[in-house]
Structure 1
């Protein structure tokens, strides 16, 4: 399977997890001339101010060279995502009063059992098997750009 397909499966996994925790997915792979944002989600349940999360998903095999994708979130990458978020807010001005944050999801994957060809949730926390791959949410960092 190509890296692009693995990345898309990782994004699918994170989008499903966000929805299961009360987030509503507004956009997937939102792009403009400045860049792309993997997931844009909003949370409005039981809070005073709605939250808009611009989520960067990094899907890597176990033991990757760039610390599971954390090393790929450079200041230049952050600036591109921030500019792209500005374009999104310009296109959807009704969301401009929301509290905005930039989250990062670190997902690992490995080849699962060869005879496992259907979606099945494992007993491990926040992990899923999709076809021949097992995906696991290693870390979800809310407001990550403040910490990276």
Structure 2
């Protein structure tokens, strides 16, 4: 890939797309001794802000109980996505990045996700999944003549003479039974 910073630009596209679909980006390139996770995103699964209880009608103890119940209810619908982004040119040797996600790579990401959850215990009760984003990068030709057909992209961006296409977003791409020993 001759495009400078193609990996980061691919991650930028995926992060922007996730945000446009309601996700909150918590971290980019979160790293631990085990490895790195390209994007960690959170989705709350609720629309709008929850209505606040009137404190005038509640005793402090009742308010505390309701706050705890609200906290439990709001995290039940929260979801964390640990996203691995693979940015490749169209003729890449590794099936567009799919074959680069080996069981060893999955285990490293899984362990790094564990480190994230240990660092942020308030998110430990969230549902978690491991997604993979496949981004294609191609140079934009100034001498393009004719029409070229291509698969429909989930999202696209153009930067410095290159076009980036989020070609595929694979939900829950990792098997949850990865050996973590």
Rg larger for: 2
TM-score normalised over the length of structure 2: 0.72
1:40 offset after TM fit, Å? Answer: 0.1
CA distance in 2, matches of 1:34, 1:3: 28
- Worse-matched range after superposition: 81-90 or 126-135: 126-135
CA distance in 2, matches of 1:124, 1:81: 26
CA distance in 1, matches of 2:128, 2:154: 27
- Residues 72, 4 of structure 1: CA spacing in aligned structure 2 closer, same or farther, 3 A cutoff? farther
Aligned residue runs from structure 1 range 1-148, under 5 A: 5-46=5-46, 48-114=76-142, 125-146=154-175
Q: Which deviations, in whole Å up to 9, do the C-alpha atoms of 1:46-97 show, x marking residues without a partner?
A: 2851000000000000121110000000000000000000000000000000
* 8 Å Cα contact 2:154-2:167 kept in structure 1: no
* 8 Å Cα contact 2:153-2:168 kept in structure 1: no
Structure having the larger proportion of residues in strand: 1
- Worse-matched range after superposition: 125-134 or 77-86: 125-134
TM-score normalised over the length of structure 1: 0.87
CA distance in 2, matches of 1:45, 1:74: 31
1:4 offset after TM fit, Å? Answer: 6.5
- Residues 57, 75 of structure 1: CA spacing in aligned structure 2 closer, same or farther, 3 A cutoff? same
Deviating runs (4+, > 4 A) in structure 1?
1-4
What RMSD over aligned residues (CA atoms) do the two structures have, in Å?
Answer: 2.2
**Count of aligned pairs:** 140
